[in-house]
Chain A
Amino acid sequence: MNEDTRFGLDRKVRLLGPLPLDSGASLAPVEFAYETYGTLNADASNAILICHALTGDQYVASQHPITGKDGWWVRMVGPGKPVDTDRHFVICANVIGSCLGSSGPATINPATDKPWGMDFPVLTIADMVRAQAMLLDHLGIERLHAVVGGSMGGMQAVSWAALYPERVRSAVIIASAARHSAQNIAFHEVGRQAIMADPRWRGGAYYDDDDPPSSGLAVARMAAHITYLSEAGLTEKFGRRLQDREAKTFGFDADFQVESYLRHQGISFVDRFDANSYLYITRAMDYFDLAEAHGGVLANAFAGSKTRFCLISFDTDWLYPTSESRTIVHALNAAGAEVSFMELSSPFGHDSFLLENPEMNRIVDGFLKAGEGR
């Protein structure tokens, strides 16, 4: 299997499509940048799809080419980890709309031979999932042992189970929700407005002279980053401590450590992310409401589902609080689906799912192993 050029790190493929989209438009061709880890077994029954979050990418367990950092989920994915690359065949693909190689506003529009910019079609979470299904067809994987994701990755995982129940044996949905709340949409709108208010944005047509709206994107990232942390976490990490100075400057420099930290988060983000992708993906998340397509009744999305579900939330996550996970759990109970759920305690807010958490690993490990016997 290892000689198969479809498998391995840093893969790219362009599929003809077309991919019909929820908006009524369609996308063709569809480009994918993805990675696979481990070996697909003879009956292709050990595949696990990892779905990444808003600003995540396909480098789930390998070094990021731009930042040089470790993969974003090496604590969960790798040899001997809960998603065990010795045992499982792991796939992680950059979502369409993003900017790490899959089709998105920065890729070439075949009609004009120029970057799509804002002519790229508006996407939904379901569109991302249907695109992933296309990729799995190409890879020869009919049925997933599991689909696993946190945050927006969890939205994809729960959508996978709703759209393709026959293709998903188990779904792990961490720190996520079945719809975006008014507050979620509001924070995203702040980010989008920051980007579009940057004079360099120019209606999204900034690729030609390589002069992107970095200031706007950095502000968007700063605002969003606050929502990924908890008040207690911020207080513990920074409190009101000053940054490399003895006293307040009575000016507008980054006097406080928390300001300096946020500025750093914003500035480093723009090196690895495209502003237009940020607009498209936040839009897709805001449009997400899994119940909407099922008469407003979330349980109908899972009617007759044979998929096993495992949901995890964190007690200090106020972006996708436990109540959002519970809504999904109650719908799954109502549909009679097999579901496990647990709220874990962690001081780190929404970001907890990306951090070291032995309890989370133990639960995911036990859940995935229990699905292998059957």
Chain B
Amino acid sequence: MTKLRPDLQIIADNIAPGSRVLDIGCGDGALMAALRDEKGCDARGLEIDPANVSKAVARGLSVVQGDADTDLSAYPDASFDYAILSQTLQTTHRPDIMVDQLLRIGKQAFVSFPNFAHWRIRLSLLGRGRMPVTRLIPQTWYDTPNIHHVTIDDFRALVRDGQYTQEGQWFLSGDKQTGRGMANLLAEHAVFLLRG
């Protein structure tokens, strides 16, 4: 078993065995395969990149090529225990509608995203006056798929405004978990577990 990306490992560790899971933006299906093989989950995926879909289907996963912004409406209410959106929220047209959809389809939702308020990004913007290019946000402003950069505090406000229940939060710096204190400054990456 290849090692999962740290944010995916956090999600995998916190999913109940035997759950029904929809992984939106599932990539090549690494998380789905882990959930299927190690937790006996019924995992389904949605992925926009054809090469990734092809890899995932060839490893026996149920993955549909499609666009999260347009194709989620076909899934019925509460048809999954978990909807997962990892490192994809910032690429969607309307992140607020996306979170709504996740919690319509899933009883719970995992959302992970790179934190745009991490100190290195703040420094880069402050010092150089240019849009930051970092390890987690490697593209330049004009070719990035990240059209809605978000900070941890922004996301917390979205959770509050949407009246969702936050059932878990994890933060990463480098590939290691870090504490909740000053997460908006110190964490490169956040994972939230929500309930509608």
Q: For the complex, is B79 an interface residue (Cβ under 8 Å from A)?
A: yes
- Among A336, A343, A369, which residue has its beta carbon within 8 angstroms of that of B65? A343
* Partner pick for A365 among B58, B74, B75, CB 8 A cutoff: B58
- Within residues 58 to 78 of chain B, which ones have a CB less than 8 A from any CB in chain A? 58-66, 71, 74-76
Number of interface residues of A (CB under 8 A): 27
Residues of chain B in range 29-82 having any CB-CB distance to chain A below 8 Å: 44, 50, 53-54, 56-66, 71, 74-76, 79
Q: Choose among A333, A338, A344, A370 the residue that contacts B74 (Cβ–Cβ < 8 A).
A: A333
Q: How far is the CA of A352 from the CA of B65 in the complex (A)?
A: 19
Q: What residues of chain A lie closer than 8 Å to B64, measured between beta carbons?
A: 329, 333, 339-341
Say whether B62 contacts A342, CB under 8 Å: no
Q: Are A345 and B50 in contact (CB under 8 A)?
A: yes
Given A330-B71, A341-B66, A345-B50, also A336-B60 (CB < 8 A)? no
A341, B61: Cα distance in complex, Å: 11
Take A366-B60, A370-B59 as given contacts and tell me if A342 and B53 are in contact as well, using a CB distance cutoff of 8 Å. Answer: yes
A117, chain B: closest CB distance, angstroms: 45
| Contact in complex: B76, A334 (CB < 8 Å) | yes
| A336 lies within 8 A of B79 (CB) | yes
Q: Which of B59, B61, B64, B75 has the most CB of A within 10 A?
A: B64
Chain B, Cβ-Cβ closest to A333: B74
B54 contacts across to A, CB distance below 8 A: 342, 359, 362-363
Q: Could you tell me which residues of chain A, from 338 to 368, have a CB within 8 Å of some CB in chain B?
A: 338-345, 359, 362-363, 365-367
Contact of B60 among A333, A341, A344, A367 (CB under 8 A): A367
**Complex interface: chain B residues within 8 A of A188 (CB):** none
- For window 317-340 of chain A, which residues contact chain B by CB distance below 8 Å? 326, 329-331, 333-334, 336, 338-340
Q: Complex: how many Å from CA A333 to CA B20? A: 13
Q: With A330-B74, A336-B79 in contact, do A362 and B58 touch (Cβ < 8 Å)? A: yes
Docked complex Cα distance between A330 and B66 (Å): 10
Closest to A363 in B: B57
Chain B nearest CB from A174 CB (Å) reads 13
* Set of chain B residues within 8 Å of A336, measured between Cβ atoms: 76, 79
Q: A329-B64, A330-B71 are in contact. Are A342 and B57 (CB under 8 A)?
A: yes
- Which residue of chain B lies nearest to A338 when distances are taken between CB atoms in the complex? B62
> In the bound complex, what is the Cα–Cα distance between A340 and B26 (angstroms)?
13
Contacts of A343 in B (CB 8 A): 50, 65
Q: Which one of B58, B59, B61, B75 lies within 8 Å of A333 (CB-CB)?
A: B75
Within 8 A of B (CB), among A257-316: 308, 310
Rounded to whole angstroms, the CA-CA distance of A334 and B62 in the bound complex is 14
Interface centre among B53, B56, B58 (most CB of A within 10 A): B58
CA–CA, A370 and B44, complex, Å: 14
Q: Which residues of A contact B53 (CB under 8 A)?
A: 340-342
- Please name all residues of chain A whose beta carbon is closer than 8 Å to the beta carbon of B63 when the two chains form the complex: 340-341
CB distance from B73 to the nearest CB of A (A): 8
Task: Tell me, rounded to whole Å, the shortest Cβ–Cβ distance linking A366 to chain B.
Answer: 3
Instruction: Report how far A224 CA is from B66 CA in the complex, Å.
Output: 30
Minimal beta-carbon separation of A138 from chain B (angstroms): 32
B50:A342 contact, CB within 8 angstroms: yes
Q: Considering the chains assembled together, what is the distance between the CA atoms of A212 and B99 in angstroms?
A: 64
Q: CA of A369 to CA of B54 in the docked complex: distance in angstroms? A: 14
Q: A338-B44, A345-B50 are in contact. Are A310 and B75 (CB under 8 A)?
A: no
Contact check, A342 vs B65: say whether CB atoms are below 8 A apart.
yes
CA distance A340 to B57 in the complex (A): 7
Q: Which residues of B contact A344 (CB under 8 A)?
A: 50
Q: Separation in Å of the A193 CB from the closest CB of chain B?
A: 38
**Given A334-B76, A341-B66, are A310 and B50 also a contact pair (CB < 8 Å)?**
no
> Given A330-B71, A333-B74: A363 and B65 within 8 A (CB)?
no
- Which of B50, B62, B71, B75 is within 8 Å of A340, CB to CB? B62
CB atoms of B59 and A341 under 8 A apart:
no
Neighbouring B residues of A359 by C-beta, 8 Å: 54
Q: Quick check: B75 and A341 within 8 Å, CB to CB?
A: no
| Chain A residues whose C-beta falls within 8 Å of the C-beta of B61 in the assembled complex | 340, 370
Contact A334 B66 (CB under 8 A): no
User: Looking across the interface, which residue of chain B has its beta carbon closest to that of A374?
Assistant: B60
- Chain A residue numbers with a CB within 8 Å of B74 are 329-331, 333-334
**CA of A330 to CA of B67 in the docked complex: distance in angstroms?**
12
Closest 6 CB pairs of A and B: A370-B60, A366-B58, A330-B74, A341-B64, A333-B74, A340-B57
Interface residues of B (CB under 8 A from A): 44, 50, 53-54, 56-66, 71, 74-76, 79
Binding site for B on A (CB under 8 A): 308, 310, 326, 329-331, 333-334, 336, 338-345, 359, 362-363, 365-367, 369-371, 373
Q: Beyond A326-B66, A341-B63, A370-B61: 13 further Cβ-contacts under 8 Å?
A: A310-B57, A329-B66, A330-B71, A331-B74, A338-B62, A339-B62, A339-B64, A340-B64, A342-B65, A344-B50, A362-B58, A366-B60, A367-B60
22 contacts between A and B (CB under 8 A): A330-B71, A333-B64, A333-B75, A336-B76, A338-B44, A338-B62, A339-B44, A340-B53, A340-B56, A340-B63, A341-B63, A342-B53, A342-B54, A343-B50, A345-B50, A362-B58, A363-B57, A363-B58, A366-B57, A366-B59, A367-B57, A370-B61
